[in-house]
Amino acid sequence: MTIEVKVPLLPESISDATVSTWHKKAGDRVSRDENIVDLETDKVMLEVPAPADGILKEIVKATGSTVHADEVIAVIEEGAAQEKEAPKPATSTKASETKSAAASASKGAEQVLSPSARRAVAEHEVDISQIAGTGKGGRITKENVLAAASTPSQPAASQPFQTPSPMGARPEQRVPMTRIRARIAERLLEVKQNTAMLTTFNEVNMAPVMEIRNKYREKFEKKYNVRLGFMSFFVRACAEALKRAPIVNASLDGNDIVYHGYFDIGVAVSTDRGLVVPVLRDADKMSMAEIEAKIVESAEKARSGKLSLEDMQGGTFTITNGGVFGSLMSMPILNSPQCAILGMHKIQERPVVENGQIVIRPMMYLALSYDHRLIDGKESVTFLVSIKEMLEDPTRLLLEV
C-alpha cells in the first residue's frame, strides 16, 4: 500500500515553502514520525515526518522546489521489506570486506543521528562513519558534526576555489539566497524606507552587574540549573524602563498609535540561516531564572530550526547583542512593526572619570534605535538613561524605583 507524503498546513500569512533538505533518498527505509525532509519558509523551518513505516518509494519534489500546503512531495511504500543484498562469494577480497564494514558503520551512525545533527551533516557534507557520537546511547549530536566539520580532512584540491580557472580568471561562487535571508533583507529595506529611524547612544558601567553575577553565579546555577548571564539583567531593566516610557513600547498602525499593555521582549539570536527574534512573553512578570531558561531554550530551537511562527510573533520591543561577536558600537535596525530596539555591545575596560579621578571601569556602549515619527529625542534619551541607572545600581531592579 502506498501512502502520499504531503506538505503540512503552512503557518498563517505563508503561502508556500521551498524544499530545503531531504534526509532520506528513494529506496531508504523510513520510520513513522521520523523527519524525512525540511521545508523552508520565509519565516521558519518546517519538518515533515513520515506518516508510516516503510520504504521511501519516490521523491516527487526535489530540493529547491516550491511547494504549497497539502501538495504531494513523496510516496512511501508502507511496510515494504528492505531489499536484501546479493550473497557475496566466499572468496570475497579483503578490500570488499573493508568497504562493506565501512558501509555498515555509516548506516549504523545514521541511525543514531539527532535531528539537528542530520541537518548539520547535510549542510557540511560530513562523513558520519568517521564520527564518534557522544550523546546518550552513542547518538551523534550536532556538536559532534560541527567539530568534525571544523577538522580538515580533505585534500586541498577538493576544497572550494582551490583549483584555478583554466582561463586564469579569479574564482567566484554564485548561490541562491535562502528564503529566510531574502525575507530578512526585504524587511530591513522596508524599515529603512518607511520609518524615520534615529539612534541615540549612552554608556553603562557594568561593574555592579558583574560583581553581583560573580558573587551569586554558582548558587544561581546550582538552584535553577541555568547559567546566569547578562541578558536577564537587560531584559528586566528594559521591562521596567518600558513601564515608565509607554510610548517606547508602542507601535504605529496607519495614523493610530497602539499602546501595548504588556511587555513582550524579543531577544535576537544569530543562526546559520540569519537573524531570528524569539519573544519572551510578559517579560516583566518573569524571574531572572525564567528569563535565562527561556533564552537558552529559544536559542537552541532557533539554531536547530525548531522555532515556530508563534515563537517570533507579537513582540513589542527587541534587544540585540552584537557584543558577543566583539562589536564595540553599532546602530541596530528596527524590528518592524516595533518602534524601538536596544543594542548591547562588547564590555571593554576604559578610563572614565569618577569624583574627579580617572579610574578604569568595564564599560559598555548602549544604542537605542527608534522611529522618530512616534518617539521624540527626550523620550528616547530618558528611556536609555533609565536602563543605565538600573544597571549601575541593580537594587533599583528589585525595588522598581
For residue 313, the domain's CATH number is: 3.30.559.10
Is 161 inside a domain boundary? no
Q: For the residues 269-292, what does the mean pLDDT come to?
A: 90
Neighbours of 210 (CB within 10 A): 14
Q: What is the DSSP string of 121-183?
A: HHHHT--GGG----SGGGPBPHHHHHHHHTS--S-GGGSTT-SPPTT-PPP----PPPHHHHH
Q: For the residues 99-112, what does the mean pLDDT come to?
A: 46
203 in the same domain as 246:
yes
248 in the same domain as 130:
no
Confidence at 88, pLDDT banded by 50, 70, 90 = very low
Confidence at 20, pLDDT banded by 50, 70, 90 = confident
Cα distance between residue 366 and residue 209, in whole Å: 15
Look at residue 93 in the predicted model and tell me its pLDDT. 47
Which residue did the predictor score with more confidence, 213 or 41?
A: 213
Range with the poorest average pLDDT among 21-30, 46-55, 188-197, 300-309: 300-309
Question: What range does the domain containing 41 cover?
Answer: 2-81+109-152
Cα distance between residue 43 and residue 353, in whole Å: 46
Could you read off the pLDDT of 45-72 as tens digits, one per residue?
A: 788 888 888 898 888 888 888 888 888 9
CATH, residue 33: 2.40.50.100
Average pLDDT value over all residues in the chain: 82
Domain count of the fold of the chain: 2
203 in the same domain as 128:
no
Is 46 inside a domain boundary? yes
Q: Which of 48, 395, 119, 46 is nearest to 237 (CA)?
A: 395
Is 287 inside a domain boundary? yes
259 in the same domain as 114:
no
Q: For the residues 186-202, what does the mean pLDDT come to?
A: 91
pTM score over 0.85: no
Q: Which residues are catalytic?
A: 372, 376
Q: For the residues 352-366, what does the mean pLDDT come to?
A: 95
Nearest 5°: CA angle at 32, between 26 and 34? Answer: 70
What's the chain's length in residues?
Answer: 401
Confidence at 150, pLDDT banded by 50, 70, 90 = low
Look at residue 98 in the predicted model and tell me its pLDDT. 46
Look at residue 107 in the predicted model and tell me its pLDDT. 46
Q: For the residues 197-204, what does the mean pLDDT come to?
A: 96
Q: For the residues 116-137, what does the mean pLDDT come to?
A: 68
Cell of residue 127, nine digits? 562523513
131 in the same domain as 247:
no
pLDDT over threshold 90, residue 164: no
Look at residue 87 in the predicted model and tell me its pLDDT. 47
356 in the same domain as 232:
yes
Is 93 inside a domain boundary? no
Q: For the residues 259-276, what does the mean pLDDT come to?
A: 89
Write the Ramachandran bin of 224: left for phi over 0, alpha for psi from -120 to 50, otherwise beta.
alpha
CA distances from 73 to 4, 34, 68 (A): 8, 15, 10
* Contact criterion met (CB below 8 Å) for 346 and 230: no
DSSP 39: E
Is 102 inside a domain boundary? no
336 in the same domain as 216:
yes
Is 96 inside a domain boundary? no
Q: For the residues 193-217, what does the mean pLDDT come to?
A: 94
Look at residue 69 in the predicted model and tell me its pLDDT. 85
Q: What beta strand segments (E) does 191-277 contain?
A: 197-205, 251-253, 256-258, 265-267, 269-271, 274-276
Query: At which residue does the C-alpha cell 528594559 appear?
Result: 238
